[in-house]
Structure 1
Amino acid sequence: MKDIQRFIAGFRTFQESYFGAGADHFEPLKEGQSPKTMIIGCSDSRVDPALLTNCAPGDIFTVRNVANLVPPFEEKGGRHGVSAALEFAVCHLGVEHIVVLGHSGCGGIKALMAGTCGCKGGGFISHWMSIAAPARERVLTELPDKEPGLQQRAAEQAAILLSLENLRSFPWIDQRVASGTLSLHGWYFDITAGELLEYQQEGGCFEPVKSC
């Protein structure tokens, strides 16, 4: 119960900061949201997109899942949570940027590389992580003799690129990217170094982000 009590106390602090006397940040948000950026991040408790970017409520539309994956476009199959969020963000909110935010030490990618996804009596993780199978195959083909840690880092970054490719498979995303009204970004948070890297199309690699 200690965690729950700490969370409640934290909410009281949030409530006072955003709804207390003189606080007006939520006044326009009470009528709706209009973020210009969507971030697709990992469920990992260490990688909170709003915390990493120092954003306030209403600044970003966020979707988090195991290994920050984007499935390819398909109209049949199961319940498409990520795809539904993409449709809402792009077609209804009109976001101008979509960021795929991966990170080092990702448990989902580690399990994918080791072939240990899922657990006895369930297969949700294995089925989900199969989205990133091409990233695993690419790394094992290009870096067959490298040590596991380097392969995992390469796979984490390759999975970001795969998700960026999958985003373009959604027709209403591809159309907006082609017209210049929507931009896609690949970010990688190095937890050990405390550094944020961004994929540079020109150089074909991830490099530290530069301040504007």
Structure 2
Amino acid sequence: MRYAQPLPGSLVKRYHGWKATTFAENEAWYRRLAQEGQRPRAMVISCCDSRVHVTSIFGAEQGEFFIHRNIANLVPPHEPDGLRHGTSAAIEYAVTALHISQIIVLGHSQCGGVKGCEAMCSGHAPELERAESFVGRWMDLLRPGWEAVRGIADADARMEALEKQAVLISLENLMTFPFVAEAVKSGDLALHGLWNDITRGALEIYDARTDAFAPL
């Protein structure tokens, strides 16, 4: 493939540093992971945003979480239409092959994808309205959430509410997958909705009893 390029020297240097320290100090653990395979208990669906470091937030090690990242941590509805669905494939594998017992949808503050949805739905991002925009068509998943919060006057409060709508819509869409719904109803799988304030390091969890997010 003639377009592939060598890694930047800075990344090569960081790799060798990791290999000589973290890997060398935990080589037996890495070997065990390779030989025995992965057995994560939880799947985390989070945003691609580089500021959201899932394993650091939970102090997790390799092998603990099955992680899927996409724009704005969205889960599409179950659509067995023969097309390619990366998020749906990850969910199916986690539930039916890895038999994870928890799915965590993790939203966050200052989400660029959610800001794009706000701009698109309010008519300020015509480029996202184009049929060929992958981001725009993906953010269509969040349009119902925008409709739910568009009446909030304060811009910051509206954005936070829309970020949390991304979590709630994803939880609802998870339940459209038959294998997810079956596992939830049997008690083998639990769904969790979280929102991370990256400025304060705060984490909030959705409480279905109060229909609100509350600090952990």
TM-score above 0.5, yes or no: yes
Tell me the secondary structure at the aligned position of residue 56 of structure 1. coil
**Residue 4 of structure 2: aligned partner:** none
> Deviation string for 1:50-100 (max 9, x for gaps)?
122221111100000000000000100531000000010000000000000
Aligned partners of 1:172, 1:21: CA distance in 2, in Å?
40
2:92 aligned with 1:87: yes
8 Å contact 1:69–1:131 — kept in the other structure?
A: yes
Tell me the secondary structure at the aligned position of residue 12 of structure 1. helix
Q: Which amino acid aligns with 2:147?
A: E
**Residue 148 of structure 2: aligned partner:** 138
1:48-197 correspondence to structure 2 within 5 Å? 48-76=53-81, 78-115=83-120, 116=125, 118=128, 122-140=132-150, 144-197=151-204
Which of 48, 51, 64 is the aligned partner of 1:46? Answer: 51
Which of 2, 8, 13 is the aligned partner of 1:9? Answer: 13
Aligned partners of 2:142, 2:129: CA distance in 1, in Å?
18
Aligned partners of 2:22, 2:97: CA distance in 1, in Å?
26
Q: Percent identity?
A: 38
**Residue 29 of structure 1: aligned partner:** 33
Tell me the secondary structure at the aligned position of residue 50 of structure 2. coil
Q: Following TM superposition, by how much is the alpha carbon of 1:21 offset from its aligned partner in structure 2, in angstroms?
A: 6.1
Q: Following TM superposition, by how much is the alpha carbon of 1:5 offset from its aligned partner in structure 2, in angstroms?
A: 2.8
Cα RMSD (Å): 2.0
**Larger deviation: 90-99 or 8-17?**
8-17
Tell me the secondary structure at the aligned position of residue 193 of structure 2. strand
Tell me the secondary structure at the aligned position of residue 192 of structure 1. coil
> Deviation string for 1:141-168 (max 9, x for gaps)?
xxx1512211110000011001000000
| Runs of 4+ with deviation above 6 angstroms | none
Aligned partners of 1:34, 1:124: CA distance in 2, in Å?
33
Q: Following TM superposition, by how much is the alpha carbon of 1:121 offset from its aligned partner in structure 2, in angstroms?
A: 9.1
Tell me the secondary structure at the aligned position of residue 113 of structure 1. helix
Aligned partners of 1:22, 1:85: CA distance in 2, in Å?
28
Q: Following TM superposition, by how much is the alpha carbon of 1:200 offset from its aligned partner in structure 2, in angstroms?
A: 1.1
8 Å contact 1:41–1:68 — kept in the other structure?
A: yes
8 Å contact 2:130–2:136 — kept in the other structure?
A: no
Aligned partners of 2:44, 2:21: CA distance in 1, in Å?
25
Normalising by structure 2, report the TM-score: 0.88
Aligned partners of 1:96, 1:54: CA distance in 2, in Å?
19
Which sections of structure 1, spanning at least 5 residues, go unmatched?
A: none
Distance 1:204 1:21, change over 3 A: closer
Q: Which amino acid aligns with 1:96?
A: S
Tell me the secondary structure at the aligned position of residue 205 of structure 2. strand
Tell me the secondary structure at the aligned position of residue 128 of structure 2. coil
Normalising by structure 1, report the TM-score: 0.90
8 Å contact 1:37–1:59 — kept in the other structure?
A: yes
Distance 1:97 1:137, change over 3 A: same
